[in-house]
Structure 1
Amino acid sequence: MEKILDVKNLHVSFDTFAGEVRAIRGVDFSVNKGETLAIVGESGSGKSVTTKTIMRLLPDKIGKIKEGEILFDGKDLSKLSEKEMQKIRGKDISMIFQDPMTSLNPTMKIGAQIAEGLIKHQNLSKGAAKEKVIDLLNLVGIPNPEIRYNQYPHQFSGGMRQRVVIAIALACNPKVLIADEPTTALDVTIQAQILELMKDIQKKIETSIIFITHDLGVVANVADRVAVMYGGMICEIGTVDEIFYNPQHPYTWGLISSMPNLETEGELYAIPGTPPNLLYPPKGDAFAPRNEYALEIDFEKQPPMFKVSDTHYAATWLLHPDAPKVEPPLVIRERKKRYEASRGVSSTERRK
């Protein structure tokens, strides 16, 4: 498949009063044309920092790209000036932020806010921009767009405001759409509608989506591939089926084990401990102190990415040929068994 975005060995640091926080430590991933890549992990794992770095929205003089490349359309975005980025941001790469109320200007009418990007990036007249805005409002499912065009954000519900934010992001038909937890502030019913809307729009305009979330239930419904982040690094990446039904990293085991389902009884599983303080990055595997399956080498040396399949890689020493055989938790084994049974895989094939 054709790569549209390629992030290579990305390192990002923040200069704080306490010292240098190494928020992103060697992140590698690519996004193919027309696919959805979900980036998942706990709060503080580096998901939002990674995508804000792609958009070059790091705070001035504090956030710095220390190393790496962000390749898009033959250009390294990490090397572009702010003026050059302004021609790409909102036009070729757009972003949907988490809270629609803080993403919209409360003093501007909705129509004017959506039209702003069209006038700037596509040089449309006000009349032509208005026609396109009304089409966009229809596309994102807002009724009576001609009336809504002249209304303010406070006249919209939370779900409708998020639809407006999506319309702004889609206005210039971006090649890459970054969605940073776009449904977190919404109730479950509206959340499902927004996710369905994004899938429908992706089919219509063939954009690529990077979907940031901590909710694995959301990931199952929207993603083609999944990257799991922890401690400022990607610890596992694969197709959505590989991550959900054949995860290899103990951190991914923990995330999936903590997902409730209809068979869940008693207390939910919670990963013990807390994420690392990246002011003092760990020497070995960042997850080692919380990992009940950790080996001695986990505390000494960061594991490389081991290949599980052509599309599946995981950074855990448990995949080393000399590592002891470790069974994943029962809930992971049961999920895999049910998945293989649904695909008609025999017990003999499973043992292989």
Structure 2
Amino acid sequence: MKKILEVNNLSVSFKSHNGEVQAVRDVSFDLHEQETLAIVGESGSGKSVTVQSIMRLIAMPPGEIKSGSVLLNGEDLVKKTEKEMEQIRGNEMGMIFQDPMTSLNPTMKIGRQITEGLIKHQNLSKKVAHEKGVELLRLVGIPNPETRINQYPHEFSGGMRQRAMIAIALSCNPKILIADEPTTALDVTIQAQILNLLKDLQVQTNTAIILITHDLGVVANAAHRVAVMYGGKVVEKGTVDEIFYQPKHPYTWGLLGSMPKLNDDTEELQSIPGTPPDLKDPPKGCPFAARCPYAMKVCDQHMPAYTESSSTQKTACWLLDERAPKVKPPESIFAGGGQING
């Protein structure tokens, strides 16, 4: 499939009273047409800052894109003016935010929030935009859209508000849809409905999706490829099958080990000991070294380069160096068994 987005060596920092926070450090990934790429990791790993930087939504100052490029169909968004980005947002890229109740304007009817993008970007009349707004609400599964379009956000349930956010994001037929934790505030049943809706809409609209989440269960059901972030860096990336069945990075092992399992009778979930690094003073070496039970001296001193396990899987870990000791991943998370470097 055609590559439509390419993020190269993106670094983003924020100035604070206590120093510069290096929130995103040298991040690279790409996105293809009709593909869903999941970016996963703990809170504070840099997921949301990465996608907000792609959309140029971080406040500057205190935020700043220090280096790197974001190529959308070959054009670098980092070099675009704010006026140019206003045309790209909505037309080329849409975003679904984490909490629809705080993202939707409580003083505006749902219909106006959907149609203002149609009027601005596609130069539609109010009447035609209203008709398309009704179609969009119907598309995302909201019953009685002719009535609902004239209601306020507080008159919608949580799941319906998220559907309305999706309708707004899709209103101008963007090529890329960014979903930042789209199911966090919803109960399990509604989460499944929203994820199924996104998959159905992707087929109908040929939209590529970047899905931000900390829930690996969501990833398993929704994504084609996965990028695992930790400490502002992508530590591993690969297909869903590679990340779930052949993970190579100890942090990925920890994430998989913390997932609840239906065949596990123990009541206590596994956790990763320790805390994420302070990105005001990030470690020189692997960001996960301080929490990694397999860390070696070199892990603290030098950042590992990516090792390619396949054409689609890359992992930044010193354990994959041919000189490293052989280490077995925990059997509870590694379906194939065997050693990771040999």
TM, length-normalised to structure 1: 0.95
Cα displacement (A) at 1:73: 2.2
Cα displacement (A) at 1:60: 2.5
CA distance in 1, matches of 2:329, 2:178: 33
More displaced stretch, 104-113 vs 221-230: 104-113
Cα-to-partner distance string for 1:47-70 (whole Å, 9 max, x where unaligned)? 000000001011121000010000
Corresponding letter in the other structure for 2:282:
P
Which residue matches 2:292?
A: 291
Matches within 5 A, 1:257-296: 257-264=257-264, 265-296=266-297
TM, length-normalised to structure 2: 0.97
Cα displacement (A) at 1:330: 1.9
Q: Secondary structure at the match of 1:330?
A: coil
Which residue matches 1:343?
A: none
CA distance in 1, matches of 2:29, 2:43: 20
Q: Secondary structure at the match of 2:254?
A: helix
Cα-to-partner distance string for 1:60-101 (whole Å, 9 max, x where unaligned)? 210000100000022110111111100001111110000000
Q: Secondary structure at the match of 2:178?
A: strand
Aligned residues: 340
Sequence identity (%): 64
Cα displacement (A) at 1:210: 0.2
Matches within 5 A, 1:31-70: 31-70=31-70
Corresponding letter in the other structure for 1:240:
V
CA distance in 1, matches of 2:336, 2:156: 43
Which residue matches 2:219?
A: 219
Cα displacement (A) at 1:322: 1.2
Cα displacement (A) at 1:321: 1.2
Q: Secondary structure at the match of 1:26?
A: strand
Runs of 4+ aligned residues of structure 1 deviating over 4 Å after TM superposition are none
Corresponding letter in the other structure for 1:259:
M
2:245 equivalent to 1:240: no
2:175 equivalent to 1:145: no
Structure 1 unaligned segments of length 5 or more: list them. Answer: 338-346
Which residue matches 1:322?
A: 323
Cα displacement (A) at 1:195: 0.3
Matches within 5 A, 1:177-188: 177-188=177-188
CA distance in 1, matches of 2:327, 2:270: 19
CA distance in 2, matches of 1:181, 1:332: 24
2:96 equivalent to 1:88: no
Corresponding letter in the other structure for 2:307:
F
CA distance in 2, matches of 1:193, 1:47: 23
CA distance in 2, matches of 1:212, 1:46: 10
Cα displacement (A) at 1:267: 1.5
Q: Secondary structure at the match of 1:58?
A: coil
CA distance in 1, matches of 2:236, 2:313: 8
Which residue matches 2:102?
A: 102
Q: Secondary structure at the match of 2:91?
A: coil
Corresponding letter in the other structure for 1:101:
M
Structure 2 unaligned segments of length 5 or more: list them. Answer: none
Which residue matches 2:310?
A: 309
CA distance in 2, matches of 1:227, 1:21: 22
Q: Secondary structure at the match of 2:71?
A: strand
CA distance in 2, matches of 1:273, 1:74: 41
CA distance in 1, matches of 2:293, 2:67: 33
Cα-to-partner distance string for 1:218-270 (whole Å, 9 max, x where unaligned)? 00000000000000000000000000000000000000000001122141110
Which residue matches 1:128?
A: 128
Q: CA RMSD in A?
A: 1.4
Q: Secondary structure at the match of 1:280?
A: coil
